Amino acid sequence: MNRLFGSVRARATLAATLVVAVALVAAGTAVLLSLRSNLLGQAGTQAERSARQVAAQVAAGTPYEDLALDLDDRPVQVVDEDGRLVAAGEDLERIGGTGTDAVEPRPGEGHDDADDAGDGEVGARATLSDGWATVDGETEDYRFAAVTVETEDRGTLTVYAGAPLSAEHGAVRTALTVMLIGFPVLLVVVGAVTWLVTRRALRPVEGIRREMAAITRSEDLARRVPVPGTHDEVARLALTTNETLAALQSSVERQRRFVADASHELRSPIASLRTQLEVGAAHPELLDVAGAVEDTVRLQRLAADLLLLARLDAGERPADARVDLAALAREEAAGRAGVTVRAADGVTVLGSRGQLARVLANLLDNAQRHARSAVEVSVRREGGVAVAGVADDGDGVPAGDRERIFERFVRLDAARSRDDGGAGLGLAIARDVAVRHEGTLTVRDAPAGGALFELRLPAA
């Protein structure tokens, strides 16, 4: 049961059926009430018409015994101002809901002198009420109308005339029967149609779910979910899912490539260090201590680079400290041969001083490796942006490689040794740190003909 109503299709069908059921009940109730009101109004009009016919005879001075009271077998009473029955229809056997339950005038109550009768005045308004009566052996519910007649000799008389409510009861019962039969059938039709329509609408979603389940089982991120040609929300969901799968596949492949490259880069210094230690253990006089230290330092730097990249990939947010970019550039350039600094004072940014120092150090290391003789560092402010540039007079970076050099473990010069060229992580780290600081790092041609790396960060 929980599984059934846990599906979107079942909940949609149930909701639609309930909404239609509430609407049908409300509409059916309104129809029945309106039908009953209209039929009661018609019965009241008929009763008033009959009552006024008799009242007109009374007002004309017609004696009680000569009144025409047999109006289509309808109950009629004439009652005086003391509540005594003075005239009634011949077939009236019992009555209730009028001024009196008497059905036959008492001796002397219905006698009047026609010669003394005068003109009377019929009341303008009629009073309606519900009651019952037995006429000619048949008992029915009636709508009674009471009309008053003002006379000079007989005082105030009230004429009661009834119209049967059998038509109203029959019509209401028929309408109710039709509703009781038709509404459930209509609800079944609505539920079935909603179930089928929802099933058809959700069929692509089920296809997406099955494909995602298959991808999860197979761990094959190259697969994609089917995209329906409906151009609706489901199609957009499929497109977004495929985009997510593509991004996930790219991330996993990059992670695998990163692990493989990192393992390859670590293997070289570890192997070199092991060889030197094994030679030193066998022949202490041949131990290259300087080389072992150099390999250890290189291994330490590579491990530090890998750790920083892992922290950046994990989404570590930089600190919000104020950093003087000009002072930081002077500090990193100090002691480096052939490096000059042109920095404007007061150029500050918000971020991690250590990470920004690492960016400048990596850019300076890269520039010194490729420069012929000189490296220039510039720091300036352009509106709300702090710009730090590192330019060299080397051969520059080809236009087709200006984005590829920021990828991890990329070396443009395949002939360079790892000792001279590093592991290919410096520029990748610099780009990632710039992005984490809501900035950019790009490369273009320098005025001196080499490469110009520009770091742009929001100024504090």
Minimum mean pLDDT among 100-114, 119-133, 150-164: which range?
100-114
Average pLDDT, the chain: 85
Q: Is the pLDDT of residue 423 over 80?
A: no
Give the residue carrying structure tokens 């990828």. Answer: 407
What pLDDT, in 10s, does the model give residues 316-354? 777 788 999 999 999 999 988 889 999 888 889 999 998
- Average the pLDDT over 421-434 and give the result: 81
Predicted confidence (pLDDT) per residue in 58-80, tens digit: 999 889 888 888 877 889 999 99
Q: Please enumerate in sequence order all residues whose Cβ is within 8 A of that of 161, keeping only pairs 6 or more positions apart, or say none.
A: 47, 48, 50, 51, 53, 54, 71, 74, 75, 76, 144, 145, 147
Window from 8-22, 152-166, 364-378, 406-420 with minimum mean pLDDT: 406-420
User: Which among 113-117, 256-260, 429-433 has the top mean pLDDT?
Assistant: 429-433
Whether the pLDDT of residue 107 is over 70: the answer is: no
Domains of the chain: 1-218 (no CATH), 233-313 (1.10.287.130), 321-458 (3.30.565.10)
As a whole number, mean pLDDT of residues 413-417 equals 44
- Residue 412's pLDDT is 65
pLDDT band at 422 (very low <50, low <70, confident <90, very high): low
Work out the percent of the chain whose per-residue pLDDT is above 90. Answer: 36
**What's the CA gap between 275 and 110, in Å, rounded?**
142
- Residues 357/429, Cβ–Cβ less than 8 Å: no
HEC assignment per residue over the chain: CHHHHCCHHHHHHHHHHHHHHHHHHHHHHHHHHHHHHHHHHHHHHHHHHHHHHHHHHHHCCCCHHHCCCCECCECEEEECCCCCEEEECCCEEEEECCCCCCCCCCCCCCCCCHHHCCCCEECCCCEEEEEEEEECCEEEEEEEEEEEEECCCCCEEEEEEEEECHHHHHHHHHHHHHHHHHHHHHHHHHHHHHHHHHHHHHHHHHHHHHHHHHHHHHCCCCCCCCCCCCCCHHHHHHHHHHHHHHHHHHHHHHHHHHHHHHHHHHHHHHHHHHHHHHHHHHCHHHCCHHHHHHHHHHHHHHHHHHHHHHHHHCCCCCCCEEEEHHHHHHHHHCCCCCEEEEECCCCEEEECHHHHHHHHHHHHHHHHHHCCCCEEEEEEEECCEEEEEEEECCCCCCHHHCCHHHCCCCCCCCCCCHHHHCCCCHHHHHHHHHHHCCCEEEEEECCCCCEEEEEEEEEC
Distance of alpha carbon 197 from the chain centroid: 20
Q: How confident is the model at residue 50 (pLDDT cuts 50, 70, 90)?
A: very high
Burial class, 457, CB count within 10 angstroms (exposed 0-12 / middle 13-18 / buried 19+): buried
pTM: 0.52
Residue 14, judged by CB atoms within 10 A of its CB (0-12, 13-18, 19+), counts as middle
Task: Measure the CA–CA gap between 61 and 84, rounded to whole angstroms.
Answer: 18
Looking at residue 254, its pLDDT comes to 76
Query: What mean pLDDT comes out for the span 354-366?
Result: 91
**β-strand 127-135 against 156-164: which pairing, if any?**
unpaired
